[in-house]
Chain A
């Protein structure tokens, strides 16, 4: 029984990791060997694809764009989301459960259904092909997640603490920023991680709202990678490894927080 379990666990790990291993191998294979099997492993590892990714394409610009968009959207979504979540968790809001359900409904909106009017609106206000268009959109569609998670986390701070702060003369806002927020730091981190990952990975809006390299983000960059005259599998693999690294670091460093957030976001009220 124990043996079966052990083998099952190994199988789970291999199933999750094997495709990444192949990606890594591909990224260091010399170009002529990419289209040959066997051998599985390269005769000699090469860094040429990584070099090409950073010299031949506006790749650094694309990574910077993603970083700016994801960071700004995360900050905004958290600031706006935390404020609302505080009210829903601790203040007397009429129909709070109903508001939460409405917020949930927004998070379920299929992007394809909102992309056409948003696109026309973005064109109308002159934001076409800008990072700003993405920041506004991502902030909005990450808000429901932030509100849900943070409402949940704020409720875990005992109500007596909040009331004590109010009795001591704090305004509601002061009690929120000076007492509730610091006490909910782990929850804020969890929410920030999930929102950041959502923004870092988003594709459809980015594909539709931006078109020049100056405003392109990573998923679009990876999807449109093939040039007119080359499908550089080695470079695609190298680029994929590079953009995956930050997420690998997050997954290992903040594993507990992310799982906490995931669970709270999907299945808790």
Chain B
């Protein structure tokens, strides 16, 4: 018995030695995964000429039959944008964007007005089916209403009637401009003003479509709402705008997914999301971002410059952002909370995975203005290949934020010795009666843990995947059910790759 035990032990030691020798390459292989949503839908689209000037903006506004106040809003934003400089503080290295070489409006050609889903071009429905987004209501599997945005315009919104029964408005922002103009006029640009930053100003000038949600007083939205963004053309930018208003004591969970085809050119995506939560309202906003990230040499991919901000206007209101960022060549995104209402709560849960030459500069801003406000930040960054993954966050306690609290945790995991993980937490306090805690750590896939899992008969790739999944658990727990499963699968796919 003794002898055989020694033999087995030795054999295991050899295996471990060999494993360690190959581990490094294996880990590098596991993070490679071909992009599954890279197909192009061959559909007739209506595009306007390239370039950006006041005439183009007037044309977009005219095409969308917008009221004058909106055209003025666009023109004002455009004039401000012209005077602004593209921000460079994030130190992202990308070739200069030629803003005159972009098509600012592109829409699939379809009948003037769609009265039901049957009239939507079957090719479009097919595209969304391929992406795993059933738009036809009879195909409903989960209790989710979907607004699908294809290039510049919203294609279809499902379950509208059922939502309408509860008084919930869920439609494209163009429709909202026509049917709920008062709400748009009252709230558009109040959270992210047109002059907020370079990309927000650009979006305000040229935004084409997006989603609009209004939850009336006291209503808990009966189902999760979801919008799905798809960029199809290679030369048009996508500039959508989302506005969610949650009235007193209402609540809503909103999901957002994004994919794009593979082109060897870079496509610009500059979106603005505005959330407004009144007294006792709750908004949960979850994103799984999987835009095309470019190939291994860093050719192509989406430039994702997004401004997302929520305003906790009411007492005890709550805004929770959760995001899984796996795509885009460049990600520049800081979902933020303005905590104005007393006892309002802001949350940010994020997983960002970068590989190859991807660059992600993401984080959050928690601005505590009202008293007794609370915020939690949990950010997990995983960098592999030659990528750069940065957390950049701001926590600010204003002079009136008495009794406020913040807790931030940023963890980074490095896979391979070429990737970089950075943490830039900006912390500012002007209120002594408040507490801020921040902690950050960095780690790699531990060989001890890998060995342990492998010694229990778990395959290498599965073990890596389990460890990454465990690393991200705090964030996945915050995602809605459907998304948690999707996110886990997405990371596993990215990580399992050719080895799996």
Instruction: Tell me whether A and B are bound partners.
Output: no
A residues near B (Cβ < 8 Å) are none
B residues near A (Cβ < 8 Å) are none
